[in-house]
Chain A
Amino acid sequence: MSPLLEVRSVTRRFGGLVAVDSVAFDVAEKEILSVIGPNGAGKSTLFKLIASFLKTSSGEVIFKGEKISDRSPHEVARRGVVRTFQETTIFRGMTVRDNVIVAHHLRSKASLAGYFFASGDARADEAAFARSADEICDFIGLGEIKDEMASNLPQGHLRALGIAIGLATDPAVLLLDEPFAGMNHDETMRTVELVRGVRDERGVTVLLVEHDMPAVMSISDRIVVLNFGQKIAEGTPAEIRADDKVIEAYLGAEDESIGL
């Protein structure tokens, strides 16, 4: 079976700095794959390249046999590859429910004019979006607070809302940028379950960038490790745990050389 998403020796330079250096890996359908690495390893840059928020310097990203890199973000989203954001990026001036409703944009059947004149399609869309938004809010665990202004939500709920917004687009692949950052153990475990649910119950392939090692080890089917922009390892959590290069990258090679 051919992979759902292929990253083919993607490179991105910023001036003299090579942030991502011919990184290549495949993502299979309904897989949870994590990209990890020390700070500045190029994880977030790689994510932006996959979602076309940045242009590649060379290489390409293929989704279902079609090149999706170097397009505009909304075109990539339309094809089913949707990212959430590292910072808690949401529509702050809307209620939780409105955040999720507006994110149904890609499922629209009516045109802008159709919405203006409340055509049959438009009314059907709006009813369907409202229903689906309620269902997604319940699924994510925001059902109780869906009429709350998004700007009033605590950190943990904001992250969940970010995932809900992503789900509303009906993605094939969801790119989660540090979904566990800044969370305590309980919140992390709850979010891990949530991400599993996204894959198991909704059939969404999940690609995530993360720092939190225990969470990554428990959630991932496979892990790709980056260091200084290069892929240094790829494998199951057990393989990664035992990989010398990974241990070196995280603990630092220089330590050894100075006798520590």
Chain B
Amino acid sequence: MGTGLRIAGVLLFLAIVFLGVPWAIQASGRWDFYYTLTSVALLAIASAGVWLTFYIGRINIGQGAYALTGGYVSAILVMQAGWNFWLTLPVAGIFCALVSVLIGLPILRLRGVYFAMVTLVLTEVARLTALALPITNGAKGITSIPLPGEVSILGLTLIPAIDTFGDVKLAFYLVAAALMVIVFAGMYRLVNSRIGHLCRSLQQNEELASSIGVNITYLRIVAYAISSFLGGIAGAMFVAISQSIYPSSFTVVDSVNFMLNCFLGGLAYVFGPILGTLVLYFGWDLLFETGRFQLLIYSSVLILIIVLLPNGLLSVFERKRATAR
């Protein structure tokens, strides 16, 4: 693909996300799609993290744990320490990254299904911890969290308070979409830099990678920490939107969905999680009108996609290119 074509593609994507979608919603009057698409953007961010752990050869079914942790860190800092939400966002991510280093050191030695099983347990551990700790307020959760306030330095407003916008839903959508664009731009850069090359070496053969001098333990930890950081900020952002968090806000099902988003989009494509999340989440919503057939249709389509395109939705383009050659 030429550079010009690539830039055109990116511009088109940005135009759709920031102009096309608000226009379409305005025109159709489906205001509820704002919430759906905001969720897609945030879930795609968490899925990007899962995708990165796939990229170093680990199946991660524990992202829900970090989304929940990030959400609680943000909620507690806002409610109990009176912090501004925008400050808690990076803190929630960094907190999750640090926790993931502690958890990752022992468990990242495990491979394949063993690592997957341990991460599967993590979400449940996070849920039970949130239930048990006094600071998280148990099953009652933390509610009535104020909307993000303004950020200003020396009287100069950098980020206006979210409720000064006429349409809060639109504001949240734009924030989530911008966050998603930033995260995926970063992911694209990561994968196309030498770091991505090293990650691929890890994915393909850890023994050989260590024999060429790659500190595989360190690289695995770095990738897992970035992954968990993304889970944390996605979780925190969710809490800001729903203004509440409960131990059941992110469950094992969410963790499995994060993984499915990656599979569906394609594990070899950095933008796969966006498409996967959109199709999975939005598709589920669209099928709402089919009533009791919703799950049946949804599952059948999923199975079909996985059978027909085992390498993900984005592999459609790959196949075209291969036959064109």
A51 within 8 A of B: yes
CB < 8 Å neighbour of A92 from B190, B195, B204: B204
- Whether the pair B194, A93 counts as a contact (CB closer than 8 A) is no
CB contacts between A and B, total, < 8 Å:
81
Name the distance in Å between A142's Cβ and chain B's nearest Cβ.
17
The interface size bin for chain B is 20 to 34
Name the distance in Å between B252's Cβ and chain A's nearest Cβ.
31
Q: Which among A53, A85, A102, A125 has the greatest number of chain B C-beta atoms within 10 A?
A: A102
- Whether the pair A102, B198 counts as a contact (CB closer than 8 A) is yes
A73 within 8 A of B: yes
- Whether the pair A116, B212 counts as a contact (CB closer than 8 A) is no
Q: What 0/1 readout, one digit per residue, does chain B (165-208) give for beta carbons within 8 Å of chain A?
A: 00000000000000000000000011001110110110111011
Name the distance in Å between A96's Cβ and chain B's nearest Cβ.
14
- Whether the pair B208, A89 counts as a contact (CB closer than 8 A) is yes
- Whether the pair A103, B193 counts as a contact (CB closer than 8 A) is no
- Whether the pair B212, A169 counts as a contact (CB closer than 8 A) is yes
- Cα A115 to Cα B193 in complex, Å, equals 6
B210 within 8 A of A: yes
Q: A91-B201, A91-B204, A102-B201 are in contact. Are A74 and B194 (CB under 8 A)?
A: no
- Whether the pair B213, A74 counts as a contact (CB closer than 8 A) is yes
- Whether the pair A105, B208 counts as a contact (CB closer than 8 A) is no
Q: A93-B200, A102-B201 are in contact. Are A116 and B193 (CB under 8 A)?
A: yes
Total residues of chain A contacting the partner, CB 8 A: 34
- Whether the pair B208, A165 counts as a contact (CB closer than 8 A) is yes
B77 within 8 A of A: no
- Cα A168 to Cα B197 in complex, Å, equals 15
Name the distance in Å between B229's Cβ and chain A's nearest Cβ.
14
CB < 8 Å neighbour of A125 from B189, B190, B194, B200: B194
- Whether the pair A85, B190 counts as a contact (CB closer than 8 A) is no
Binds B, one of A38-46, A75-83, A198-206: A75-83
Q: What 0/1 readout, one digit per residue, does chain A (53-96) give for beta carbons within 8 Å of chain B?
A: 10000000000000000001110011000111100011111100
Q: Which among A103, A108, A165 has the greatest number of chain B C-beta atoms within 10 A?
A: A103
- Whether the pair A102, B193 counts as a contact (CB closer than 8 A) is no
Residue of chain B at shortest CB distance from A73: B210
**Extra 17 A-B pairs, beta carbons < 8 Å, given A102-B197, A103-B212:** A51-B211, A72-B215, A74-B214, A74-B216, A77-B211, A82-B211, A89-B208, A90-B205, A93-B204, A94-B200, A101-B197, A105-B198, A106-B213, A112-B195, A115-B193, A122-B193, A165-B208
Binding site for B on A (CB under 8 A): 51, 53, 72-74, 77-78, 82-85, 89-94, 98, 101-103, 105-106, 108, 112, 115-116, 118, 122, 125-126, 165, 168-169
- Which 9 pairs from chain A and chain B are nearest by CB? A77-B213, A106-B213, A73-B210, A115-B194, A103-B212, A91-B204, A115-B193, A102-B201, A74-B210
